[in-house]
Structure 1
Amino acid sequence: MDPLAIVLVGAAAVCHALWNLAAKKAADAGAVFVWINSLGSGVIYLPVVAVAAVAYPPRLSWALAGAILVTGVLHVAYSLVLQRGYQRGDLSVVYPLARGTGPLLSVGLAIALFHEKTGVVGLAGAAGVVGGIFVIGFQPGRRDAALAAGIGYGVLTGVFIAAYTVFDAWAVGPLAISPILYDWGNNLVRAALLTPHAWKHRTEIHPIWTKYRGPILTVASIAPAAYILVLFAYRFAPVSLVAPARELSIVVGSVFAWLLLREPQAGRRVAGACLVLAGVVALATAH
């Protein structure tokens, strides 16, 4: 994998783990929370988009508008399912399963749809990343409603991750759409789609903002940065390698969950993290 792609993916992993911790803290805020942070991202990143548009004027087209609409729909579904998962299940279950299922499906779709080729070492690395994620998230002997909900929502979130990963790689690759403009438009579409819900529940907006101002600002500012870094990485490496490698966020998230949330079973999670790191090393040497 290209060294620049590795740097981009590593930075994105830290950002991704940080905003998911923030989203977990606001788990009970639901769709209104998603609406506020999506709208906030649009406002925060407007100056960045304006500068980028002046430096590199975008080519406006129906393909651009259509791609942004599609990714917005996929991302709003992803965001709502993820937030619901954090409301019903544990971070240590939902997050690893979501991040593990996504790249597993992404690699398969990228190879099937884009005819991307990756050698045995690359596939072994992808397997190591995914396997390590499931070691981190698996909790033997635990049987309860929260676990079942976490597994269900985690896997469903992973399906949406795989869908938007493959679609977005095509949008910033063959369509050559600016990642900054693309993600900004995605946030605006999300905010627009959720506006009817926000209006219906408008009495909840101020209390949620007051209670969760910190998590909202964290997600609104960091989540776009995390994904923009990944979108740029797609320009330097194929989806079948970037999608699994970005799951380094699981390692970072596990450390945060252990140190900040005091979640148990640190030894098992460290073992899983080591497997993930081994997989990433294999991915980095695959090409």
Structure 2
Amino acid sequence: MSLFAIALVVFSALLHASWNIIGKSKQGAGGSFFLASAYAPTLILAPYTFWFLSSPEISLPSQFWLWVCVSAVFQAVYMLGLAYAYQRADVGVIYPIARATPVLMVGMGTVLLGQTLSDAQWIGFTLITLGCLFVPLVTFSQFRLSDYMNGGVAWALVAAVGTTGYSILDKVAIDILTSEVKEVYSAQQVAIFYLGVQFAFMAATLTLTFAVTKQWHVFRKGWEMKKSATVAGVMMGVTYTLVLYAMTLTENVSLVVALRQTSIIFGLLLGIIFLKEKWLYTRGVGVVCIVVGLVLALI
């Protein structure tokens, strides 16, 4: 993995942690904030998306659209899981579990897709996962399964399943897209287009979910917080554009997912600074495990 790709992912991790802090500050809004956030990049990128598709030289296969659609469902699962988790626990607890737990899952998924991982990388992924399990603890004596059996952690794991799904499928879809349009568009243009399409599908999925379940109050609340949601949505868009671009520069998506976990460290620090959350020594040990795991995964 090149230094440029690493820099892209680390910067995206900082932005990702930042918009999660905004999301935590809107914890009472539930899915409303994330619905409004999904529409912001969709509308902003709509002209670009139509321009990209207007080229007579490209014709995207149905397989691409299928993967985008399924990925959008996983994105919606991630966002809803995160929204409900933030209503039940600290961002310093929820964010690490939701972001780092998928590392092992994505690692296994990439092996199924034909990639090879070294022993050091598996050890690194395991340390990252262990680190995120330490973060929610007040003391290490609480390192028992029963202490993770609560609503906040349960929803964080739902979000983790969503992360695993869209991370793998986005890599598959963007590889198909790149192979189809590489003679017409650059890697940067491909990443921006894919982002616009994915957010459009995700916004549609969330809208359909809330409409079918008749949660009309979600739409009203979403409109009321449109300003902060737009800021978060733009940050989400920039964040994932950088990740998608990095995906075009590396074959192994599990390394991208692992490196994104630097956002956990940023999230903890931002939660302490802006949300007045507590720093505990257990969280410190968890951070060390995550950092060591990242080093092992990338060497």
Match of 2:126 in 1: 127
Match of 1:168 in 2: 170
Contact 1:26 1:215 in 2 (8 A): no
Q: After the TM superposition, which residues 1-287 of structure 1 pair with which residues of structure 2 at under 5 Å, given as runs?
A: 1-46=1-46, 49=49, 59-111=59-111, 113-140=112-139, 141=142, 148-176=150-178, 178-196=190-208, 197=210, 200=214, 205-210=219-224, 212-237=225-250, 238-285=252-299
SS at match of 1:14: helix
The aligned length equals 283
Contact 1:89 1:147 in 2 (8 A): no
Q: Which runs of 5+ in 1 are unaligned?
A: none
- Matched to 1:283, the amino acid is A
- Matched to 1:250, the amino acid is I
Aligned identity (percent) is: 25
Partners of 1:145 and 1:270 in 2: CA distance: 19
Aligned Cα root-mean-square deviation (Å): 2.9
Q: 1:83 to 1:121 in 2, by over 3 A?
A: same
Contact 2:64 2:176 in 1 (8 A): no
Partners of 1:114 and 1:146 in 2: CA distance: 31
Partners of 1:208 and 1:175 in 2: CA distance: 32
Contact 1:126 1:244 in 2 (8 A): yes
Partners of 1:231 and 1:104 in 2: CA distance: 20
Q: Residue 82 of structure 1: CA displacement? A: 1.4
Partners of 1:56 and 1:139 in 2: CA distance: 59
Partners of 1:56 and 1:233 in 2: CA distance: 27
Contact 1:71 1:167 in 2 (8 A): yes
- Matched to 2:243, the amino acid is V
Match of 2:187 in 1: none
Q: TM-score, normalised by structure 2?
A: 0.83
Q: Which runs of 5+ in 2 are unaligned?
A: 180-189
Contact 1:9 1:246 in 2 (8 A): yes
For residues 114-158 of structure 1, the C-alpha deviation after alignment (integer angstroms, 9 at most, x for no partner) is: 121122222222223222222223344499999711111111211
Partners of 1:75 and 1:58 in 2: CA distance: 26
- Matched to 1:73, the amino acid is V
Moved more, 17-26 or 82-91: 82-91
Partners of 1:34 and 1:54 in 2: CA distance: 30
SS at match of 1:173: helix
Partners of 1:41 and 1:198 in 2: CA distance: 21
